[in-house]
Amino acid sequence: MKYLKDFFKGILIGSGAILPGISSGVLCVIFGIYETLLNCVLNFFKNIKENIKFLFPIILGTFVGIILFGNILKYLFFAYPIQIKFIFIGLILGSIPALIKESTKKTKFKPYYLIFTLFSLFIGIFFVIFEKNLATTSTTEYSFLFLIISGFIMSAGVIIPGVSSTLILMLLGIYEPYLGAVSCVYLPFIFPLCIGLFLGSLFFMKVTQFLFKNFYPQTFFTIIGFTLGSIFVLYPRIFF
C-alpha cells in the first residue's frame, strides 16, 4: 500500500514539472517527503537498497505524471485557457498555509522573516515583467547545448520549493515546445534537457540542503515569496 501511495505522490510531483506556477518541490513539502528525498538522493550509496525502495515508486510516478499531464494540459490550455489559469492560481494559494506551517516547524515565527518573503516576491514579479518585455522568437530549433543549459536552470524549479520550473521555461521561451515534446515523447528535445536537469538537480539539492540546515525558516519564507510570485506568471494582468 505504501508503494502505491508513493506512486500517486510521484504522479502529482510530476505534474509540478508541467503545470504552470506549481512547484514540484512545494508538493514534496506538502507530502512531507522533501527532506527525506534530498537525503536519499544525496546519500544514495550509503544505503542503496533502502534508498531504491523509497525512490523507485516516486520516480516512476513522476515520469507517468509528466507524460499524463503533458497531454491533458496541452488540450486544456487550448480549450479553456483563462479558466485553467485561475484554477492553478487557486492551487498555488491553497499551498501557502502548508508552507507557513512547515516554516515554523523548527522555530517560532519572527516578524523579520517577512522581509525574505517580500524580497523573493519582488524578484518573482521583476522576472515576470522582464519576460513580458523580451522579444519573442518563432524558432522551433534549439541547440543541444542550449537545451542542456535550459535543463540545468530548470532544475532549480524542480528542486527548490516555490520556484516553478514552468516559470523558468517561460522565461527561457521554451515552455510551449517543452509541453509539445513531453506530450509526444520527442527525444531529440527531451534528452539534452534531461542531461541538464540531472546535473542541475544534484547541484541545487546540495545548495538547498545547506540552506535548510543553516537557515531553515528564512529559506521557507523566501520560498513563500517565490510561490506567491508565480501567480503573476499565470495571469500577469492581475496587477499590471
Model confidence pLDDT, tens digit, residues 19-34: 666 678 777 877 878 8
Q: How far is CA 20 from CA 98, 225, 228, in A?
A: 19, 16, 13
Structural domain range at position 222: 2-238
Residue 138 predicted with pLDDT over 50: no
38 or 74, higher pLDDT = 38
Residue 139, all three cell numbers: 524558432
CA distance 193 to 198: 9
CA distance 231 to 21: 6
pTM above 0.85? no
Residue given cell 512545494 in the structure block: 26
pLDDT band of residue 216 (cuts 50, 70, 90) is: confident
> Do the beta carbons of residue 28 and residue 34 sit within 8 Å?
yes
Summarised one tens digit per residue, pLDDT across range 53-74 is 999 999 999 888 888 777 777 6
CA distance 168 to 173: 9
Split into its structural domains, the chain has a count of: 1
Residue 84 predicted with pLDDT over 60: yes
Residue 133 predicted with pLDDT over 90: no
pLDDT band of residue 191 (cuts 50, 70, 90) is: very high
